[in-house]
């Protein structure tokens, strides 16, 4: 697995967008890996960092549809989030707008979960799936400003989730 951080200017010249980039080759055909990213029965098996679990997951898999989930962090913390699908190109590409949410799926401020004031209300996640025959290269880009203190935790969370996905795909 490889990680890259890139910075490039965006709308606010005083801030930089820092893309978290996670890349890994999975030992499974592209359609199976794509399904693991888009079907509830798969997502509940791997969509949480190590030591955490998904307690709620719904997927309305269409452009404009919502992916809504809750991650339980021991001992007693829950974080709800949602993704609104912006682009779906099976089995090659997914783009969604990521944000924190409440239990009903309404977007909430990151401060609701004690995140810093620098944390954006929304961020964009782009995932591509390259067909390597019996394997699949997945490249994830999560756009988060460089000034966000939680950015490294987000990158670590993606790393752990990719490891859990690899284990799930072996099962």
What is the pLDDT, as a whole number, of residue 97?
98
Number of domains in the chain: 1
pLDDT tens figures, 124-155: 999 999 999 999 999 999 999 888 999 999 99
pTM: 0.90
Is residue 38 a contact partner of residue 94, using CB atoms and an 8 Å limit? yes
The pLDDT mean for the chain works out to 92
What pLDDT, on the 0 to 100 scale, is given for residue 51? 96
Q: Is 90 exceeded by the pLDDT of residue 37?
A: yes
Q: Per-residue pLDDT averaged across 50-71, rounded? A: 98
| CA gap 90, 31 in Å, rounded | 8
Domain that holds residue 140: 2-170
Segment 86-127, tens digit of pLDDT: 999 999 999 999 999 999 999 999 999 999 999 999 999 999
What distance in Å separates the CA atoms of residue 88 and residue 62, rounded to the nearest whole number?
7
The string of DSSP codes covering 127-161 is: EEEEEETTEEEEEEEEEEETT-TTHHHHHHHHHHH
Q: What percent of the chain has pLDDT over 90?
A: 87
Cα angle value 137/60/37 (rounded, 5°)? 15
pLDDT greater than 60 at residue 76: yes
- 3-class DSSP assignment, residue 71: strand
Confidence band, pLDDT 50/70/90 cuts, at residue 16: low
Is 14's pLDDT higher than 80?
no
Distance CA 47, CA 2 (A): 19
Report the CATH number that the domain containing residue 71 is assigned in CATH.
3.30.530.20
């Amino acid at each position: 697995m490889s990680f890259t951080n890139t910075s490039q200017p965006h709308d606010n010249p005083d801030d930089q967008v820092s893309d978290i980039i996670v890349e890994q080759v999975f030992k499974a055909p592209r359609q199976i890996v794509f399904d693991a990213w888009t079907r509830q029965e798969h997502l509940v098996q791997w969509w949480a960092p190590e030591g955490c679990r998904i307690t709620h997951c719904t997927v309305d898999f269409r452009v404009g549809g919502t992916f809504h989930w809750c991650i339980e962090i021991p001992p007693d913390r829950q974080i709800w989030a949602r993704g609104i699908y912006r682009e779906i190109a099976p089995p090659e590409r997914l783009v969604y707008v990521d944000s924190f949410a409440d239990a009903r799926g309404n977007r909430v401020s990151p401060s609701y979960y004690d995140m810093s004031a620098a944390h954006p209300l929304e961020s964009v996640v782009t995932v591509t799936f390259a067909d390597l025959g019996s394997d699949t290269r997945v490249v994830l880009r999560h756009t988060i400003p460089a000034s966000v203190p939680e950015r490294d935790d987000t990158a670590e969370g993606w790393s752990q989730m990719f490891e859990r996905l690899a284990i799930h795909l072996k099962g």
